[in-house]
């Protein structure tokens, strides 16, 4: 009986082989088109948002708002994450990000985060650049997820700073009980400025600084007895 | 693009499935090298001795995909208590092993899925250190899960004594090309809407970002139209990528142009891994499909 069923199923498969192949092909192409459409939409919304953000205008387009809402729906977020389709490709656009330098100071000596690999250094500076953007554009909070914007994120960034300071402090066996860490934005004359005679020289603008101390009374929020 | 792929056939420029092998070993090999590159400073990025502690980093994750901290908490919940450091060590060993399996084509699909899982786990655990290349690696590994990349030159194929038909690779090539076309178009579009890319200032600024490595300074070109032309050249190359890369007559020139662009990014901006992956993806999509690898000849045609 089972053998008879198997034979029947095999014969059915043979007859329908081309139809099954065609059906499979159609399903694959449908998914591919939808997947590419997803990537296209993610990028359209991303470009529109970054354009508005760059010109400090609110996102007013109803279509863009609806699209963003759709793409931020949980199932789409999962889909985008696991397929890698969530990435926007506007690298170095609209403008190139400003960046900066981490500078620590302990017992009158300058200290910095030193890495053995170039790739880690690059990642560390990328993190710094994202934080810089947060300080320049507090509404954007590029370094973190969108669900935690606002004051709490500024406090979070402060916490990250203190964490970096604490690690620097212990790694460099600082001889003092306190150290200072600052993030300094790098300023370099523009192409137009250089052409009109500005010297090719970097300058640093302190964006934020934190103090890390082993003494709790050194903390500004702490009250002395 | 399907029509364009078919046109390639009609113009007797054969497309061979060998590109699947090229794609698999290069994507997995790249991901492995990229992961090995951070090994000297691994503890500084991932451990509690690092610059940002894992639990502080974890506070701002979106919980769409697991992180090491959330995975540890999950394991705790299902009564498998594991400390953070052993879990980190396990992932540190498992990820490159999965990539090695993927390179060799051993349990190809399974190793691709595991590689994707570990890549996402490891990168989302340090999301503050993420940059552009990580998204590219994720989608390339995802395509290794979906494409029949184990059908050519793989241990899997050898284990089944080569009883493989020619994989139906054209839809996947269409997907890879479509993805690259969208990525380059938006990369160029995002630049052209900013005035600094149109007057050369953006390129000047990018080249003077201190954290990027450059083989030599291009400051001597300040009074030439180099920055203006290079900025516009980048925009044109990227925005018209989807047109010219799919035109057989100009494809090789455009491919050379894109490779030159990425070599420039590598040598003057120091984004070596980023450039390498983009070059590999371009070669996988627009060069390797036209190369007839020896093993491909032995594949039986699909019935």
Question: Are residues B156 and B107 in contact, defined by beta-carbon separation less than 8 angstroms?
Answer: yes
The verdict on B63 and B153 lying in the same domain is yes
In a domain, B198, yes or no: yes
In a domain, B5, yes or no: no
- SS3 of residue B242 by DSSP: helix
End-to-end C-alpha distance for chain A, whole angstroms: 92
Predicted confidence at residue A146, as pLDDT, reads 53
Question: How many other CB atoms are found less than 10 A from the CB of residue A22?
Answer: 11
Task: Print the domain residue range for B114.
Answer: 18-167
Tally the domains of chain B.
Answer: 2
The verdict on B161 and B100 lying in the same domain is yes
Tell me whether residues B40 and A115 touch, CB distance under 8 A: yes
- Report CA-CA distances (Å) from A217 to A165, A179, A214: 17, 14, 9
The verdict on B34 and B102 lying in the same domain is yes
Domain end residue (candidates: B113, B134, B167): B167
What whole-number distance in Å separates Cα of residue B31 and Cα of residue B33? 6
In a domain, B276, yes or no: yes
ipTM metric: 0.90
Tell me whether residues A123 and B38 touch, CB distance under 8 A: yes
Tell me whether residues A191 and B120 touch, CB distance under 8 A: no
Q: Positive or negative CA dihedral for A204, A208, A213, A219?
A: positive
pLDDT tens sequence across B236-259: 999 999 999 999 999 999 999 999
More confident residue, B163 or A16: A16
The verdict on B150 and B223 lying in the same domain is no
Using a CB-CB distance cutoff of 8 angstroms, which residues of chain A are in contact with residue B211? 99, 121-122, 125, 128-129
Please give the backbone phi and psi of residue A104, each rounded to the nearest 5 degrees, phi first.
Answer: -110, 155
The verdict on B100 and B188 lying in the same domain is no
Which residues 222-251 in chain B show a CB within 8 A of chain A?
222-223, 227
- d(CA B81, nearest CA chain A) in Å: 27
pLDDT tens sequence across B75-119: 999 999 999 999 999 999 999 999 999 999 999 999 999 999 999
Q: Positive or negative CA dihedral for A131, B214, B38, B144?
A: positive
Question: Are residues B118 and B91 in contact, defined by beta-carbon separation less than 8 angstroms?
Answer: yes
The verdict on B136 and B196 lying in the same domain is no
Tell me whether residues A35 and B175 touch, CB distance under 8 A: yes
Question: Are residues B29 and B205 in contact, defined by beta-carbon separation less than 8 angstroms?
Answer: no
Interior CA angle at B204 toward B203 and B207, to 5°?
85
Which residues 262-291 in chain B show a CB within 8 A of chain A?
270-273
pLDDT surpasses 70 at B141:
yes
What whole-number distance in Å separates Cα of residue B167 and Cα of residue A28? 14
Tell me whether residues B193 and A78 touch, CB distance under 8 A: no
- d(CA B62, nearest CA chain A) in Å: 6
- d(CA A196, nearest CA chain B) in Å: 10
Predicted confidence at residue A19, as pLDDT, reads 84
Is the CB of B206 inside 8 Å of chain A's CB atoms? yes
Residue B161's contacts (CB-CB under 8 Å, 6 or more residues apart) are: none
Predicted confidence at residue A224, as pLDDT, reads 45
In a domain, B298, yes or no: no
Name the residue facing A167 among B50, B140, B191 (closest C-beta): B50
What whole-number distance in Å separates Cα of residue B187 and Cα of residue A39? 13
The verdict on B269 and B163 lying in the same domain is no
The verdict on B90 and B226 lying in the same domain is no
Domain end residue (candidates: B167, B199, B229): B167
Tell me whether residues B52 and A164 touch, CB distance under 8 A: yes
pLDDT tens sequence across A65-90: 999 999 999 999 999 999 999 988 98
- SS3 of residue B194 by DSSP: coil
pLDDT surpasses 90 at B159:
no
- SS3 of residue B90 by DSSP: helix
Of chain A, the percentage scoring pLDDT greater than 70 comes to: 87
Name the residue facing A40 among B175, B182, B213 (closest C-beta): B182
In a domain, B302, yes or no: no
- d(CA A225, nearest CA chain B) in Å: 31
**SS3 assignment for A120-145:** HHHHHHHHHHHHHHHHHCCCCCCCCC
The verdict on B120 and B89 lying in the same domain is yes
What whole-number distance in Å separates Cα of residue A36 and Cα of residue A225? 64
Name the residue facing A120 among B38, B65, B202 (closest C-beta): B38
In a domain, B10, yes or no: no
- Helix runs in chain A, H state only: 2-54, 62-71, 74-83, 118-136, 151-171, 191-195
* Partners of A213 in beta bridges: A178
Domain end residue (candidates: B104, B133, B167): B167
The verdict on B162 and B183 lying in the same domain is no
Q: Which among A101, A36, A80, A123 is positioned nearest to B132, based on CA atoms? A: A123
Which residues 137-196 in chain B show a CB within 8 A of chain A?
137-142, 168, 171, 174-175, 178-179, 182-184, 186-187, 189-191, 193-194, 196
- d(CA A8, nearest CA chain B) in Å: 21
Task: Give the start-end residues of each E strand in B53-151.
Answer: none
Per the listing, tokens 């990435």 go with A87
- d(CA A28, nearest CA chain B) in Å: 7
Is the CB of B35 inside 8 Å of chain A's CB atoms? no
In a domain, B154, yes or no: yes
In a domain, B286, yes or no: yes
Predicted confidence at residue A91, as pLDDT, reads 79
Tell me whether residues B183 and A163 touch, CB distance under 8 A: no
The verdict on B162 and B198 lying in the same domain is no
Is the CB of B213 inside 8 Å of chain A's CB atoms? yes
Predicted confidence at residue A225, as pLDDT, reads 41
Using a CB-CB distance cutoff of 8 angstroms, which residues of chain B are in contact with residue A91? 132, 187, 190
* Partners of B133 in beta bridges: none
The verdict on B52 and B102 lying in the same domain is yes
């Amino acid at each position: 009986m089972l053998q008879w069923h198997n034979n029947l199923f095999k014969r059915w498969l043979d007859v329908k082989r081309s139809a099954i192949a065609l059906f499979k092909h159609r399903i694959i192409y449908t998914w591919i088109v939808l997947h590419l459409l997803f990537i296209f939409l993610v990028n359209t919304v991303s470009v529109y948002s970054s354009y508005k953000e760059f010109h400090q205008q609110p996102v007013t387009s109803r279509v863009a708002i609806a699209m963003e809402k759709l793409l931020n729906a949980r199932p789409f977020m999962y889909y985008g994450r696991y397929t890698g389709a969530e990435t926007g490709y506007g690298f170095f656009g609209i403008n190139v990000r400003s960046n900066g330098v981490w500078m620590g100071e302990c017992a009158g000596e300058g200290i910095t985060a030193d890495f053995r690999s170039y790739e880690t250094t690059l990642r560390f500076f990328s993190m710094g650049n994202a934080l810089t953007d947060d300080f320049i554009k507090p509404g954007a909070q590029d370094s973190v997820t969108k669900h935690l914007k606002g004051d709490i994120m500024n406090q979070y960034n402060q916490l990250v700073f203190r964490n970096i300071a604490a690690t620097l402090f212990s790694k460099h066996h600082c001889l003092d009980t306190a150290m200072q860490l600052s993030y300094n934005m790098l300023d370099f004359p523009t192409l137009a400025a250089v052409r009109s005679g500005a010297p090719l020289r970097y300058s640093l603008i302190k964006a934020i600084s934190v103090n890390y101390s082993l003494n709790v009374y050194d903390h500004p929020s702490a009250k002395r007895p | 693009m399907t029509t364009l792929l078919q046109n390639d056939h009609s113009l007797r420029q054969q497309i061979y499935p060998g590109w699947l092998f090229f794609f698999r070993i290069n994507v997995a090999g790249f991901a492995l090298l990229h992961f090995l590159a951070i090994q000297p400073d691994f503890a500084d990025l991932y451990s509690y001795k690092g610059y940002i502690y894992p639990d502080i980093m974890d506070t701002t994750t979106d919980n769409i995909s697991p992180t090491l901290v959330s995975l540890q908490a999950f394991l705790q919940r299902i009564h498998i208590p594991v400390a953070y450091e052993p879990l980190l060590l396990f992932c540190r060993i498992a990820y490159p092993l999965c990539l090695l399996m993927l390179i060799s084509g051993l349990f190809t699909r399974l190793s691709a899925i595991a590689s994707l899982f570990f890549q996402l786990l490891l990168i989302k655990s340090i999301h503050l250190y993420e940059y552009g290349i990580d998204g590219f690696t994720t989608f390339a590994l995802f395509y290794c899960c979906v494409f029949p990349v184990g059908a050519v030159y793989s241990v899997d194929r050898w284990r089944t004594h080569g009883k493989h038909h020619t994989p139906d690779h054209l839809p996947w090539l269409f997907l890879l090309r479509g993805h690259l076309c969208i990525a380059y178009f938006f990369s160029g579009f995002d630049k052209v809407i900013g005035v600094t890319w149109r007057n050369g200032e953006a390129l000047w600024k990018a080249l003077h970002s201190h954290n990027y490595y450059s083989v030599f300074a291009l400051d001597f070109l300040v009074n030439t139209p180099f920055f203006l032309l290079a900025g516009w050249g980048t925009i044109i190359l990227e925005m018209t990528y989807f047109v010219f890369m799919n035109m057989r007559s100009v494809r090789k020139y455009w491919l050379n142009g894109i490779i030159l662009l990425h070599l420039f990014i590598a040598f003057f901006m120091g984004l070596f891994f980023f450039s390498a992956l983009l070059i590999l993806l371009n070669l996988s999509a627009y060069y390797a499909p036209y190369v007839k690898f020896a093993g491909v000849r032995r594949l039986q045609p699909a019935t």
